[in-house]
Amino acid sequence: MATENAKQVENRDFSLSGDVIVKVHPETGAIYTVRNNPEWCSIRVESIVLGNNEKGLFTLQKRVAFIRMQVAVADSLIVQGQLKPERPFPFKGKIVIKESWEEFHPGQVPKVNPQTGEVIEYAGYPVYRATYFQSGEHAHDELIADWVRRQVGTVQAVDEEAVVQVPFEELQQKEYAA
């Protein structure tokens, strides 16, 4: 059993350092894509990291983000050979996850469980998720469960039933003593 799992992981391209790798756009096949404004482009990046959840389970997590950059800067990096598909992004940083009970952009679909197709909720409200590239060593995920734990002031994992007892409006507006 362990050998089969090891073979599955062995065949995956990942780095425990969480290197951010430049990828071609899945629809255009280009290193960057220009949408509405011809001066700005989007560059697809991804990383595969070893992450863990609040239950202590470790899994490989694939993270994808689109970096907005001026076209002139992207062209310069390409000419210099610093921005290439399947190579590390030329600036240090990592892809972080941000969660919210509110949409990050109009019309965003809430997070969905890929196995059941059900909308993921926390404390009875749908969870919205976005990924961003952030430079710097101290960039970190901003997950709803972590935010609730900080507001409620508990050190241990917050039981979802206990969170439901706190009205949503209070979670958003009231600061709880730590």
Which phi and psi (to 5°) does residue 7 adopt? -65, -40
The pLDDT, as a whole number, for residue 50 is 81
Distance CA 143, CA 120 (A): 13
77-96 tens-digit pLDDT: 999 999 999 999 999 899 99
Report CA torsion sign: 58, 64, 68, 70.
Answer: positive
Distance CA 150, CA 154 (A): 7
138-169 tens-digit pLDDT: 888 888 877 777 777 644 444 444 444 444 44
Q: What is the mean pLDDT of the chain?
A: 79
Contacts of 152 (CB under 8 A, 6+ apart): 158, 162, 163, 166, 176
